[in-house]
């Protein structure tokens, strides 16, 4: 046995001594192993077979009603120095955290099988990929990790070659919310998760490794681990530009990643290629450009709202070989959620459906499916070197102030734009409506270290020889006085992406404003949309007074991170504030037609 494999075996032995499982199974990732897991879970009731005529290879998992989402208040980043975790994370000293969670792990796998899951985040031969090993007592986790990562023998072989891997230890425990923690030890490349079977808490390759631990790895190794989709836009000439985009939840990430062009664009020959829908790892290439991989091999998507109207590609993707979690079921045993036709008979908890009990499918119900099943899956998702990124897009749900699209002046301004992004709350989410929650780069729950250091790391990529992507901000959610969305969204968002690509290519000049470059009205292809001139003008309007207030609030937000906030970002905020102030003295001309 190689010394590198011995290190892995030693750790497995230590975990087994602590958790005391009845047996240990090393996962090889084979089809036969997956089928055995499925049969086992059908027998135990962990999985329920769905209609195999309409949904071949599809199964339903119901989690405990107290275990249906990520638990931010029980998620800790455990660095030696508290300030390294930053005010954006909950912190616990590593010795205290290990002692607290190891006491829960003590004997927790008695009578259970301990599964050892070697996995690779990213194409198995990619220099950008990173490996990990998750130890778990949940066959549901094993089945999902097989779909979401490159899992099994090939990953173990790479771990044996490299000798480094992220250690992840997970147990469902008793599923007691009072005995539940998700601990991250970035300096030790270690994750410990106890008491939850929910994906974001239990599939340790996902948010725990691919964002919290990887963001820390990326800082020390000179790359970026980001909460972004990656989409390729192919024009009629056959040229493809790749765009990485970060949005907080409920802002249409998966829909944009699987976008279907409007009919006119399709006739002209435009195509959209899905590289990733959630996580993006970017590294500078030899030519100075940023290259991106999707570290995941599957989608762990939110089911409610996924429909033929919003995302037909996603619906097609999950028609076979999918594990559904906490969805409802129809009379003929098909998966169902709000947004689909038909009627549920059983809700997500297995009860006869009664509207008095709330939605039939849990609002955070999920599907786990291989990315390769997506009709728009890009074969370049397997490129070892990644795809070159032409543009980075930030966005949020803002009913007013923020225009449909603007381009940052340069990289430094773009980092400020990403740092300031956020969404306003809706009535459905909380009692208070219109409260702005900033979620810098959509990484607030996922940055594994101090946000000030994170912004400094972003700024560090702007160096001689770098050919960095242009940075844009979009807002699909601007509302008119009637309270209705002004922009149609979905496939028509390609019109905005086309303008971005035209800016990358230097084909349009745009309109310079204090907040960045906006499209001139004639630069957006708006035919067949039926938008009147007043609506277009409103979508592209820059309210200097409103923006001055916004910039002051952004300044306060930056101040909240203390002395680690880079001075360059403060200076950039002040530059934009001054430009707005100067523009108020000399009002901007109307948007050129």
pLDDT in tens, 291-331: 999 999 999 999 999 999 989 999 999 999 999 999 999 99
251 — pLDDT class (breaks 50, 70, 90): confident
Q: Is 364 annotated as a binding residue?
A: yes
Q: Is 200 annotated as a binding residue?
A: yes
End-to-end CA separation in angstroms for the chain:
71
Side by side, the strands of the sheet bearing 344-346 are: 335-336, 328-330, 344-346
At residue 588, does pLDDT exceed 90?
Answer: no
Q: How far is CA 458 from CA 25, 77, 431, in A?
A: 41, 20, 35
Q: What SS3 string covers 72-84?
A: HHHEEECCCCHHH
267, β-bridge pairs: none
Q: How far is CA 325 from CA 254, 297, 302, 362, 529, in A?
A: 18, 18, 10, 9, 37
Average pLDDT, the chain: 95
Domains of the chain in sequence order: 3-47+69-222 (3.40.449.10), 226-296+380-585 (3.90.228.20), 298-373 (2.170.8.10)
Question: Region 181-193: what's the mean pLDDT?
Answer: 98
Q: Taking Cα atoms as reference points, which of 210, 205, 218, 275 lies closest to residue 245?
A: 275
DSSP H/E element including 131: strand 130-136
Under DSSP, the state recorded for 352 is: B
Q: What pLDDT is recorded for position 252?
A: 87
CA-CA distance, 114 to 231, in Å (whole number)? 38
Question: Region 332-344: what's the mean pLDDT?
Answer: 97
At residue 431, does pLDDT exceed 80?
Answer: no
At residue 433, does pLDDT exceed 70?
Answer: no
Q: Is 251 annotated as a binding residue?
A: yes
| CB atoms near residue 495 (< 10 Å) | 22
| CB atoms near residue 146 (< 10 Å) | 24
CA-CA distance, 267 to 25, in Å (whole number)? 52
pLDDT, one tens digit per residue, over 36-58 is: 999 999 999 999 999 999 999 99
At residue 591, does pLDDT exceed 50?
Answer: no
CA-CA distance, 219 to 465, in Å (whole number)? 20
The sign one gets for the Cα dihedral 55, 61, 65, 66 is: negative
pLDDT, one tens digit per residue, over 252-270 is: 899 999 999 999 999 999 9
Q: Three-state DSSP class for 387?
A: strand
* Helix, strand, coil percent values for the chain (each to nearest 5): 35, 20, 40
**β-strands 181-185, 75-77 pairing:** parallel
The token pair at 197 is 């079977």
Q: What pLDDT is recorded for position 428?
A: 42
pLDDT, one tens digit per residue, over 69-116 is: 889 999 999 999 999 999 999 999 999 999 999 999 999 999 999 999
Q: Which residue has the tokens 């009072």?
A: 178
Would you name the residues annotated as active-site residues?
Answer: 251
Q: What pLDDT is recorded for position 250?
A: 77
Q: What pLDDT is recorded for position 426?
A: 58
The token pair at 320 is 């076979």
Q: What pLDDT is recorded for position 590?
A: 39
Question: Region 461-476: what's the mean pLDDT?
Answer: 98
Q: What SS3 string covers 462-474?
A: CCCCCCCCEEEEE
Q: What SS3 string covers 266-325?
A: HHHCCEEEEEECCCEEEEECCCCCEEEECCCCEEEEECCCCCCCCCHHHHHHCCCCCEEE
How many alpha carbons fall within 13 Å on the CB side of residue 66? 10
284 — pLDDT class (breaks 50, 70, 90): very high
Q: What pLDDT is recorded for position 589?
A: 46
CA-CA distance, 84 to 90, in Å (whole number)? 11
pLDDT > 70 in the chain, percent: 97
Q: How far is CA 373 from CA 247, 269, 300, 584, in A?
A: 24, 22, 13, 52
DSSP string, 194-223: ES--SHHHH-TIIIIIIIIIHHHHHHHHT-
pLDDT > 90 in the chain, percent: 92
Q: Is 249 annotated as a binding residue?
A: yes
CB 557 within 8 A of CB 545: no
Q: Is 70 annotated as a binding residue?
A: yes
Q: Is 250 annotated as a binding residue?
A: yes
Q: Is 163 annotated as a binding residue?
A: no
Q: Is 199 annotated as a binding residue?
A: yes
Q: Is 252 annotated as a binding residue?
A: yes
Question: Region 338-349: what's the mean pLDDT?
Answer: 97
At residue 136, does pLDDT exceed 80?
Answer: yes
Q: Is 378 annotated as a binding residue?
A: no
At residue 391, does pLDDT exceed 50?
Answer: yes
Question: Region 1-29: what's the mean pLDDT?
Answer: 93
The token pair at 564 is 């680690």
422, β-bridge pairs: 438
Question: Region 463-478: what's the mean pLDDT?
Answer: 97
């Amino acid at each position: 046995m190689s010394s590198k494999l011995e290190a892995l075996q030693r750790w497995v032995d230590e975990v087994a001594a602590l958790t005391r499982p009845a047996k240990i199974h090393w996962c090889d990732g084979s089809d036969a192993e997956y089928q055995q897991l499925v049969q086992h879970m059908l027998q135990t009731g962990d999985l329920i077979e769905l209609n195999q005529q309409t949904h071949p290879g599809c199964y339903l998992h119901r989690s405990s009603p107290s275990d249906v989402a990520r638990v931010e208040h029980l998620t800790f980043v455990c660095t030696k120095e508290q300030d390294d975790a930053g005010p954006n994370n909950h912190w616990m000293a590593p010795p205290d955290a290990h002692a607290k969670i190891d006491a829960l792990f003590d004997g927790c796998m008695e009578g259970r099988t301990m599964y050892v899951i070697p996995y690779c985040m990213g194409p198995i031969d990619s220099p950008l990929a990173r490996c990990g090993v998750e130890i778990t007592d949940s066959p549901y986790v094993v089945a999902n990790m097989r779909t979401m990562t490159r899992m099994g023998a090939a990953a173990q072989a790479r771990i044996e070659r490299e000798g480094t891997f992220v250690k992840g230890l997970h147990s469902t425990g008793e599923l007691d919310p009072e005995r539940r923690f998700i601990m991250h030890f970035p300096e030790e490349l270690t994750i410990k998760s106890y008491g939850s079977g929910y994906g974001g808490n239990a599939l340790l390759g996902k948010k725990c490794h691919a964002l919290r631990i990887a963001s820390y790895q990326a800082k020390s190794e000179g790359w970026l681990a980001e909460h972004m989709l990656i989409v390729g836009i192919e024009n009629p000439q056959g040229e493809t530009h790749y765009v990485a985009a970060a949005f907080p939840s409920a802002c249409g990430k998966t829909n944009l990643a699987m976008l279907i062009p409007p009919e006119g664009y399709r006739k002209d020959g435009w195509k959209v290629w899905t590289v990733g829908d959630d996580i993006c790892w970017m590294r500078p290439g030899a030519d100075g450009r940023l290259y991106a991989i999707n570290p995941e091999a599957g989608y762990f998507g939110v089911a409610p709202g996924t429909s033929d109207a919003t995302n037909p590609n996603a619906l097609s993707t999950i028609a076979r070989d999918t594990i559904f979690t906490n969805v409802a079921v129809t009379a003929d045993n098909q998966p169902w959620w709000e947004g689909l036709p038909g009627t549920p008979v059983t809700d997500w908890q297995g009860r006869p459906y009664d509207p008095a009990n709330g939605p039939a499918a849990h609002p955070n119900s999920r599907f786990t499916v291989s990315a390769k099943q997506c009709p728009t899956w890009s074969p370049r998702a397997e490129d070892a070197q990644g795809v070159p990124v032409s543009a980075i897009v930030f966005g949020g749900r803002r009913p007013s102030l923020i225009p449909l699209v603007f381009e940052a002046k340069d990289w430094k301004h773009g980092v400020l734009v990403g740092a300031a992004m956020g969404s306003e709350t809706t009535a459905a989410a909380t009692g208070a409506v219109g409260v702005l929650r900033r979620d810098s780069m959509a990484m607030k729950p996922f940055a594994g270290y101090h946000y000030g250091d994170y912004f400094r790391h972003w700024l560090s990529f702007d160096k001689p020889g770098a050919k960095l992507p242009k940075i844009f901000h979009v807002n699909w959610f601007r509302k008119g006085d009637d309270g209705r969305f002004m922009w149609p969204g979905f496939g028509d968002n390609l019109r905005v992406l086309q303008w971005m690509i035209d800016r990358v290519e230097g084909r349009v000049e745009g309109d310079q404003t204090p907040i960045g470059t906006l499209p001139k009205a004639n630069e957006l292809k708006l035919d067949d949309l039926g938008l009147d001139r007043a609506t277009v003008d409103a979508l592209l309007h820059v309210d200097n007074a409103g923006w001055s207030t916004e910039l002051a609030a952004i300044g306060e937000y930056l101040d909240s991170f203390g002395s680690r906030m880079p001075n360059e970002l403060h200076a950039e905020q002040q530059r934009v504030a001054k430009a707005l102030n100067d523009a108020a003295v000399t009002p901007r001309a109307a948007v050129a037609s």
